[in-house]
Amino acid sequence: MIFLEIKRLSKIVADLLDISKFDENIITLVKTEIEVQDLFDDLTHLFNERFAKFKIKLIIKPSKLTVYADYFKLKQVFINLIENALLYAKTDVVIYANLKNDNIRFIVQDNGLGLTYQQKEKIFERFYRIDESRNRNSGGTGLGLSIVKEIITGHNGEIYVQSEINQGTEFIFSIPQKRS
């Protein structure tokens, strides 16, 4: 129990440090050409066991796209979105990418409980948390999605959410495919 509490507090401190770096404009993105499939393969290895534990399928559709981005920050975005999807999904979480108007559009989709209009309006606000009784595991900081938004904005991209109650949720974000 002590180990879990230390881990939780470490996560809170890391999130607060990230937020303060964004506030002070001292986040440096180290952008390189990234093969989207390489990132997807890393995510598959990272999450397969956890998904199997909950008997939920992680479906990552293959991609031949490349994107100019900070690999570790982009991975951080996916980790947050996938962990959130795992909390609420019923059977599947689907991830894929496509090209739209010189931007790579990434989609993380679950078939969970969905969000109300009010929740969608607040979802990217700092410290906002969905009703804890609706998920498998509580204890988040309420900072994850605001950090995700900051990272996407730092890549000159945008993020939004589409969701209907009992129909699941899609987080969709896009970033420029090439150097800008």
pLDDT in tens, 138-161: 556 778 899 999 999 999 999 999
Helix axes 71-88, 36-53, angle to 10 degrees: 30
Mean pLDDT value of segment 34-49: 96
Q: What residues are paired with 108 via a beta bridge?
A: 95, 171
Mean pLDDT value of segment 8-37: 82
Could you tell me if 110 and 169 are in contact, meaning their C-beta atoms sit under 8 angstroms apart?
yes
**CA–centroid distance for 69 within its chain:** 15
In this prediction, residue 135 carries a pLDDT of 47
For residue 174, give the nearest of 154, 158, 150 by alpha carbon: 158
Residue 24 vs residue 174, higher pLDDT: 174
In this prediction, residue 132 carries a pLDDT of 56
Buried b / exposed e along 106-140 (16+ C-beta atoms within 10 A): bbbbbbbbbbeeebbeebbeeeebbeeeebeeeeb
What is the C-alpha to C-alpha distance for residues 19 and 124, in angstroms, rounded to an integer? 13
Q: Tell me how far CA of residue 145 lies from CA of 23, 72, 85, 152, 172, in angstroms.
A: 15, 16, 12, 10, 12
